[in-house]
Structure 1
Amino acid sequence: MASAVHVALAATLLATSSVALAQDSTPPAAPEASTLDTVSVLGSRTKPRTVSSSAVPIDIISGDEFRNQGATDALDQLRVLVPSFNVSTIPIDDAASLVRPANLRGLPPDNTLLLVNGKRFHRAAVITFLGHGLSDGAQGPDLSVFPSLALEQVDVLRDGAAAQYGSDAIAGVINFGLKKLREGGSAEVFTGKYYEGDGLTTQYSAQIGLPLTARGFATLTAEWRKADDTSRSVQRDDAAAAIAAGYPGVGQPAQVWGSPQVDNDLKLVANLGLTTDAVDFYLFGNYAKRDVDGGFYFRDPTARSGVYSNDGGDSLLVGNLNGAGAGACPGIALRDGAGNLLPYSSVSGAVAALPSNCYTFLSSLPGGFTPRFGGSLEDMSLVAGAKGLWGDWYWDVSGSWGRNDIDFIIYNTVNASLGPDQPEGLRFHPGGNTQTEKNLNIDVSRDIATSFTSQPLRLALGAEWREESFKISPGDGPSTAIGPLTSQGFALGSNGFNGFSSRTAGTFDRRNWAAYADLEAQLTERVLLAGAVRYEDYDSFGSTTTGKLTARFDVNEEFAVRGAFNTGFRAPTPGQANISQISTVFGGTALEDIATLPPTNAIAQLKGAQPLTPEKSRNASLGAVWTHGDWLVTLDGYQIKVKDRIALSTSFVVTPEERAALVLGGNPEAASISQVTYFGNAFDTTTTGVDLVTSYKSNHFGGTTTYSLAANWNRTEVDRYDTDFIDAARVYKLEKSLPRTKGYFSIHHQRKVFHANLRLNYYGSWYEDHLDSGVISAADGGLPIYGGSALIVDADVGWTFDSGLYVSVGAQNLFDRVPSKNPWSGVAGAEYPVHSPYGFNGGFYYARVGWKF
């Protein structure tokens, strides 16, 4: 069936390029216009602008274009529509597997601000402990909690906007505009799976618009999705060796690399509005939940430190259940003098002969084990407000509350320090994290007539109060226990992801307030100038002031030049300042337990940690806009300088003497910590790039055909870094891990009830440091991977009938393009480079059937 779909779709033409009207959370929008004149609320606090009239680059994506593709996750939907937006499949990366980090313009996810209907949306509770270098330590929003059916329009402001919106808007701003329906609705079923036969995805969506009295609306949207996991794995070398030596119960493959399983992915969105003679009221919010279950690293029964062996696999780790002082248990060799594995039959015989008080995990888990890691995520928000006119002033007052909660789970693992006393089902609850944010906003604006400008000055003023809290919930007893075998070298806590200790659990909050002013002047019919300034004060580290200047000169009716300069900042989050977690990572060829600690922790301070300070940025852009009939071309260059970037440090070795001193000093968790990392401000970067966006609407092929081309070239350079904080390998990943060139060419054809779409997505070459080997070339003994460029083809055909029934079939990655095979796949069982910017699962075909009423 996959090949039939493959051949049929290869003959189609397709790609989308239509747009719709923006939501109004700022002064009243311009009237409805043609596609090229669709308006966005971003870029200016005073007046919505079109793509062609804006002084800063904006992408406007209609809800239909956003939704009508094979991807069902908002992150993947954005990835193929915005060239400077990158996200990859994230397997075996701790919490990053649950909320995937995304990068706009080559910057980390918490450098992009998410708005909904123009209002700030809260960040996720997940902190990316493992982010492939670029996103390490980031805490960004979770875009996946919104169903695409709820979206009228998605606006992407590709310019710094901290002076207008506050912290986090260094790379840009994404605004989700919700639909406003007072009648009608739709219902839809979607299903698809990968050419390999796995990853079956089923999604049900429904929406209804209801009148809210004679002058209001209530639009309700619901979506439920389930996605099976995938596997692109090969057998690991160490697992194959264990099988060859006769070890029973080793999986085939022992470890799975692939997309995690997603169950009960429920998303609800409500958008309500009511107009009266004097005031307009609005209320909108969301609720979302999902369960995620993914793979983890295989624990080799012949070598895993802290569980099976503590000398690199030469001998078995055996504990005395009567206590360390009760005498040593007999030693058992795992390898011969030449380093070869001894047959399991001989090792198991020695294990069976052990005294009853001597314990080894080889007796209960002789084939090793592979933990499964996941969690239950819950997200909710509510925004309420009123807006209207008071004389010549337009005003908008709103309040919002948002919360993102995650409860982690890890199973098929052990707390080695407990010996045989493991929880039922080898299931642990390590605790969770909760991010809660509250906002109060007052925004006012008005036009001021002058004698020296062709149009009135447009003034906007505003104030904001925000409270942000990060809660660490403690894990259950087994996930945090420091068991009786700890002193004998057995690792404490749930292996792979230790539970949050009650000593480090708690709620950590921060408050801030801000005031801003935004002034826009159309000096002449051809010259537009605008400026913004924002003052923000935080109770944790003081105040900061940011500013922005923009200008546009219309040379004639068809051609204009535009530019902007702004300063920005990103405040360290309470989570980054207080999180404490022990994770297992692959350090080149072996698993290592690394503790991520807050800068205030005694262990982190021992290694040089300092209190966090805000990141500071300077963003400059210069571009041109050309419109001619149905042609639109925009070309924008930009440079973003960020100082004192916040990220996780490299890992620091904790010596036995330091470990003993820390335990005696009241830090019992340090007993099994061999390495630590912490958050810090330690490097500066310069990101330079160019965005090209073009579209042309024609009457080709007997219908309406729209051609679109968009491309991004982006380069990040590390200007300064603390060599005691990060190493050259991390710098290399920061600079090389994303493709420098990314873009798409699309064709959208509409004729009567039929439509066809074709999109060609191009990804330039990229770099992966295989399993964080810590080196940057094979000559140094490491395992880097350089991914080549790739052209990915998406295609879709469909019919929309007068009855409201619509149906479409399509394929993403039509020709099943995957990255080049991982040349070191046997090290950890990954068939392909796992951070490929276009994924590694291959082609995906799908069908969609719906009814719009």
Structure 2
Amino acid sequence: MKFRNNILNHAVKLALTTTTAGLFISGTALAADEQAEVTKVNKNVEKIAVVGTRSAPRSIGDSPVPIDIIGGEELGKSGNTDMLELLKGSIPSLNVHSMPISDAASLVRPANLRGLPSDSTLILLNGKRRHRASVIAFLGGGINDGAQGADISVIPSIALKQVEVLRDGAAAQYGSDAIAGVINFVLKDASEGGSFEVRQGQYYEGDGDTTQISGNIGLPFTDNGFANLSFQYKTADATSRSVQRFDAANLIEAGVPDIAPITQIWGAPEVDDDISIFGNVGLELTKNSEFYMFGNYSERDVRGGFYYRNPHTRPGVYSNDGGETLLVGDLTGDMSGNCPTNIMIDDNVLDNPVYINQVANNPDCFAFNEMLPGGFTPNFGGNITDTSLTIGTKGEFTGGMLEGAYYDLSGTVGFNESRYFIYDTINASLGPDSPRDFSPGKYSQLEKNFNFDLSKGFDFDLAYDVNIAGGLEWHEETFTVTSGDVASFTAGPLTDQGFGIGSNGFPGFKPSDAGEYTRRNYAAYLDIEAPFTEEFLMGLALRYEDYDTFGSTVNYKLMAQYHLTDDLNVRGSISSGFRAPTVGQANVSNVQTNLSSGVLVDSALLPPTNPIAVQLGGTELEPEESQSYTFGAVYTIGEVFLTIDYYNIQVDDRISQSDKIELSQADKDTLEAAGVPNVQSLAQVSFFTNDFDTTTQGIDFVANYATDLLGGSSTFSLAYNWNETEVTRSTNITGVFKVSRLENDLPNHRGTLSWSQQWESFSMFTRANYFGEYQGVHVDYDDTAKMADAAITLDAEVTYFLNDSISFSVGAQNLLDQEAEKLDFTVAPNNNWGGKYYETSPYGINGGFYYAKATYTF
């Protein structure tokens, strides 16, 4: 039967693809007597499942849940070298914000699938759970406040065979973090050949010079295996899309010296020595079993700008009354210097005779205007190290009660460390003896995973075999805080005189802040897929998960697909899900500098069980819980392939950082008694909380068409996403502005239209990107917010093939240099913070980027 064979072939292709990737089906859906059919179609799996821009459709049409397959070739057709930006151009429901001024969120940028935070999307590598980053986005721009997702940017595109994106909840299959979906990165597995690529680019503005050198090689590993190795080395200069701050310009006009032409930089950070090495090894042990191993080592240094410290107003350094009087320290140790405390600050305090005579010319008295008369701008940076290793074996049992069953046994260790640095700042309490550069400490994340999976096809006299899969998983997660250098947290001799403690902008972690926090959990799952007829397939997944902290959870997923005709099928799923709070979110504390109502203040993040947090509404964190459903259709008309899917995701008790809550003096006294540093200069506190519920709904539409055109072969792809999030429950802890950011910061409408053209010696790729209206926000301040206009950007690349081995490409991202929405100074008066654009722009603020690359393939 032709239709039955088509169904079987599609099942084989999907099973083979997703077994290797770990997506949706654990093991194959085939019985032993169908192995001949597997062998026959195996050669065709790649060209059907791996979808680039030049051939087959991007989505797998015979899956009961929506999947995007993005080939490694398509990922290479972009001027951007960051994996997050590459994926954003291919997946309209994925949004990535640049973080021009932030804390650690500028070191590991968060990404949002279907409008949910970065840690609501599970990341897999070759089908195995990827560890999360050690970075927690304390200043994450609303949606990502407090998110702790995986660091995707370490994965080089040259190492990838394809990327598989499941746009559906999958907690029943994989556990925590799969509320929004799953992204699986599949490494290349060739045993021969390879490529070497050099790429150089620059923004139209003449900055942000980026150099990337990457390579991949496939080697035989004995006669029965492969070793595929990849590397990428990258450097990127910083960018600036800034103007001089209004207050700094006034200081220059008043004659204050040593003020930089641009005191506060809004732009991309500098990235140095960004190196990633990935390896993927496979070896056939017997005719029915194989060994596999893959992993990576990655490291980079990142350095970016921070907020300018005004030499007249910065609390704890220059003035403690908003810039009315100068903060002066007595260096005698016994307050015998008779230092003035009432020097009025006018346009230029350096001209004040009292300052000149009693401070500048008095060795017993000190003000930071002597050391840093023009103020200062700290630079925030870090060294990010990421490494992982997975070892396993898989195959088929050939005897006993499990004969014909497929198994997969593996162990994974992943580690991510972020060592922070802050430059060009001071520990004010140390007075003139303060160093300028500090290492405030580091965070590290260690995860261990062990998995055992089984699957077998059973003949229940249905259209074909019922696949039953099950497995066990054990997971351990450890978050470690390491204290910083002494100068970064010590309370110096001027502490009692009102000078701030610790490295200004990011006080170091004290030894009492340091600690190691561990949580373990185990899980068991069952997955059944039953073809009741040749046209109707149903699947059920159940998962039990038990944590040693907050207890257990059970989740399910029910999915179905029905072929109405050979060319049209409908599909849908309903599932429950959860996301466990990370160990870091439950235990971390930190002091950060942020803007509150346009004023630079210090804010403490406290554990949710801290007495002050409890007093303000904090409680021990619990898992988020979700209910989601999706339904859609797949239609093929000749060479046109269409999918459309509606989704609805309800998340209760979402975990996020609370709104910044103003501290009373009584609160400060309690915090000081608890040992929180620099407490009298703190203005606000926040903590992690399960404080609000959301409903996210949307539509994904994908269309592909391949034809012969203009003397060559052409592929057209259209992808569109409508996404809308509504906060259905919130409290004052969440805050009104945060609700607005959750609902409005991301565009409700995103779309891409691409055309790929191939001739004998040339190829061409162009893509139009549509971004709908979004909420423009500057410096995380509600008074600056406004709805920004929709925009279209264009990407293009042309490649010339000199011969079979050498090719040259030129291209541009944002070809027409579409500007981000400019700040509206009717809502951001006087440009107090030096920005030019709303930093929530979904296509960034840096403008057009052009590049050239040379590729050698062997």
Question: TM-score, normalized by length of structure 1?
Answer: 0.93
- Structure 1 residues 655-664 or 824-833, which shifts more? 655-664
Please tell me the residue identity of whatever aligns with 2:454: V
Which is bigger in relative contact order (C-alpha 8 A, separation at least 6)? 1
Provide closer, same or farther for how the CA distance between residues 734 and 230 of structure 1 changes in structure 2, counting only shifts above 3 A.
same
| C-alpha distance in 2 between matches for 1:460 and 1:312 | 65
**Residue 748 in 1 paired to residue 756 in 2?**
yes
Of 709, 721, 726, which residue of structure 1 is paired with 2:730?
721
Could you give the per-residue CA deviations for residues 140-192 of structure 1, whole angstroms, max 9, x where no partner exists?
A: 00001111100000000000000001100000000000001111111110000
Provide closer, same or farther for how the CA distance between residues 524 and 32 of structure 1 changes in structure 2, counting only shifts above 3 A.
same
Number of the residue aligned with 2:793: 792
SS at match of 2:206: coil
**Residue 255 in 1 paired to residue 280 in 2?**
no
Could you give the per-residue CA deviations for residues 645-682 of structure 1, whole angstroms, max 9, x where no partner exists?
A: 00011112222233234323444553432211100100
**Deviation, structure 1 residue 351:** 5.8
**Deviation, structure 1 residue 421:** 1.6
Q: Is the 8 A contact 1:770 1:785 kept in 2?
A: no
**Deviation, structure 1 residue 291:** 0.3
Please tell me the residue identity of whatever aligns with 2:645: D
Number of the residue aligned with 1:534: 543
| C-alpha distance in 2 between matches for 1:708 and 1:270 | 32
**Residue 38 in 1 paired to residue 49 in 2?**
yes
Please tell me the residue identity of whatever aligns with 1:225: K
| C-alpha distance in 1 between matches for 2:336 and 2:666 | 24
| C-alpha distance in 1 between matches for 2:176 and 2:43 | 32
Please tell me the residue identity of whatever aligns with 1:371: P
**Residue 154 in 1 paired to residue 163 in 2?**
yes
Provide closer, same or farther for how the CA distance between residues 415 and 722 of structure 1 changes in structure 2, counting only shifts above 3 A.
same
- Structure 1 residues 65-74 or 25-34, which shifts more? 25-34
SS at match of 2:109: coil
Please tell me the residue identity of whatever aligns with 2:852: A
**Residue 299 in 1 paired to residue 309 in 2?**
yes
Of 360, 369, 375, which residue of structure 2 is paired with 1:362?
369
| C-alpha distance in 2 between matches for 1:768 and 1:155 | 31
| C-alpha distance in 1 between matches for 2:275 and 2:561 | 44
**Deviation, structure 1 residue 490:** 1.2
Please tell me the residue identity of whatever aligns with 2:125: V
SS at match of 1:810: strand
| C-alpha distance in 1 between matches for 2:357 and 2:44 | 81
**Deviation, structure 1 residue 416:** 0.8
Counterparts of 1:423-434 in structure 2, within 5 Å, are 423=435, 426-434=436-444
Q: Is the 8 A contact 1:246 1:345 kept in 2?
A: no
**Deviation, structure 1 residue 73:** 0.5
Number of the residue aligned with 1:738: 746
Number of the residue aligned with 1:838: 843
| C-alpha distance in 2 between matches for 1:371 and 1:695 | 49
Number of the residue aligned with 1:772: 780
Please tell me the residue identity of whatever aligns with 2:799: G
Q: Is the 8 A contact 2:574 2:630 kept in 1?
A: yes
Provide closer, same or farther for how the CA distance between residues 25 and 705 of structure 1 changes in structure 2, counting only shifts above 3 A.
closer
Provide closer, same or farther for how the CA distance between residues 622 and 278 of structure 1 changes in structure 2, counting only shifts above 3 A.
closer
Q: Is the 8 A contact 2:501 2:677 kept in 1?
A: no
Of 471, 489, 501, which residue of structure 2 is paired with 1:480?
489
Could you give the per-residue CA deviations for residues 453-476 of structure 1, whole angstroms, max 9, x where no partner exists?
A: 211101110100000000001011
| C-alpha distance in 1 between matches for 2:611 and 2:700 | 46
Q: Is the 8 A contact 2:21 2:184 kept in 1?
A: no
| C-alpha distance in 2 between matches for 1:649 and 1:35 | 46
**Residue 580 in 1 paired to residue 589 in 2?**
yes
| C-alpha distance in 1 between matches for 2:503 and 2:857 | 50
**Deviation, structure 1 residue 354:** 5.7
**Residue 237 in 1 paired to residue 246 in 2?**
yes
Please tell me the residue identity of whatever aligns with 1:360: A
SS at match of 1:76: helix
**Deviating runs (4+, > 6 A) in structure 1?**
20-23
**Deviation, structure 1 residue 803:** 3.2
Counterparts of 1:603-642 in structure 2, within 5 Å, are 603-642=612-651
Counterparts of 1:193-212 in structure 2, within 5 Å, are 193-212=202-221
Please tell me the residue identity of whatever aligns with 1:769: V
Percent identity of equivalent pairs:
48
Counterparts of 1:229-628 in structure 2, within 5 Å, are 229-275=238-284, 276-323=286-333, 329-335=339-345, 344=351, 349-350=356-357, 352=359, 355-390=362-397, 391-423=403-435, 426-451=436-461, 453-628=462-637
Could you give the per-residue CA deviations for residues 760-801 of structure 1, whole angstroms, max 9, x where no partner exists?
A: 00000111332122x3xxxxxx22132211100011100234
| C-alpha distance in 1 between matches for 2:570 and 2:334 | 76
Number of the residue aligned with 1:813: 814
**Residue 130 in 1 paired to residue 139 in 2?**
yes
Q: Is the 8 A contact 1:36 1:50 kept in 2?
A: no
| C-alpha distance in 2 between matches for 1:100 and 1:502 | 28
Counterparts of 1:161-180 in structure 2, within 5 Å, are 161-180=170-189
**Deviation, structure 1 residue 722:** 1.8
Number of the residue aligned with 1:3: none
**Deviation, structure 1 residue 420:** 1.2
- Structure 1 residues 344-353 or 563-572, which shifts more? 344-353
Provide closer, same or farther for how the CA distance between residues 762 and 135 of structure 1 changes in structure 2, counting only shifts above 3 A.
same
| C-alpha distance in 2 between matches for 1:454 and 1:147 | 42
Provide closer, same or farther for how the CA distance between residues 119 and 729 of structure 1 changes in structure 2, counting only shifts above 3 A.
same
Provide closer, same or farther for how the CA distance between residues 326 and 717 of structure 1 changes in structure 2, counting only shifts above 3 A.
farther
Q: Is the 8 A contact 2:227 2:281 kept in 1?
A: yes
Q: Is the 8 A contact 2:538 2:560 kept in 1?
A: yes
Could you give the per-residue CA deviations for residues 433-492 of structure 1, whole angstroms, max 9, x where no partner exists?
A: 0000000000000000012x2111011101000000000010110111122222222111
- Structure 1 residues 745-754 or 664-673, which shifts more? 664-673
Number of the residue aligned with 1:826: 831
Any unmatched runs of 5+ in structure 2?
A: 1-15, 29-37, 52-57, 398-402
CA RMSD in angstroms comes to: 1.9
Number of the residue aligned with 1:24: 20
**Deviation, structure 1 residue 606:** 3.2
Please tell me the residue identity of whatever aligns with 1:809: V
| C-alpha distance in 2 between matches for 1:447 and 1:109 | 36
Of 746, 753, 758, which residue of structure 1 is paired with 2:766?
758
Number of the residue aligned with 1:100: 109
Provide closer, same or farther for how the CA distance between residues 475 and 815 of structure 1 changes in structure 2, counting only shifts above 3 A.
same
Of 831, 849, 852, which residue of structure 1 is paired with 2:854?
849
Question: TM-score, normalized by length of structure 2?
Answer: 0.92
Q: Is the 8 A contact 1:718 1:735 kept in 2?
A: yes
SS at match of 1:605: helix
Q: Is the 8 A contact 1:21 1:152 kept in 2?
A: no
Q: Is the 8 A contact 1:56 1:562 kept in 2?
A: yes
| C-alpha distance in 1 between matches for 2:855 and 2:228 | 18
**Deviation, structure 1 residue 627:** 1.1
SS at match of 2:475: strand
Q: Is the 8 A contact 2:339 2:359 kept in 1?
A: no
- Structure 1 residues 801-810 or 218-227, which shifts more? 801-810
| C-alpha distance in 2 between matches for 1:526 and 1:819 | 49
Aligned residues: 812
Q: Is the 8 A contact 1:259 1:294 kept in 2?
A: yes
Any unmatched runs of 5+ in structure 1?
A: 1-19, 41-48, 776-781
Provide closer, same or farther for how the CA distance between residues 666 and 302 of structure 1 changes in structure 2, counting only shifts above 3 A.
closer
SS at match of 1:674: strand
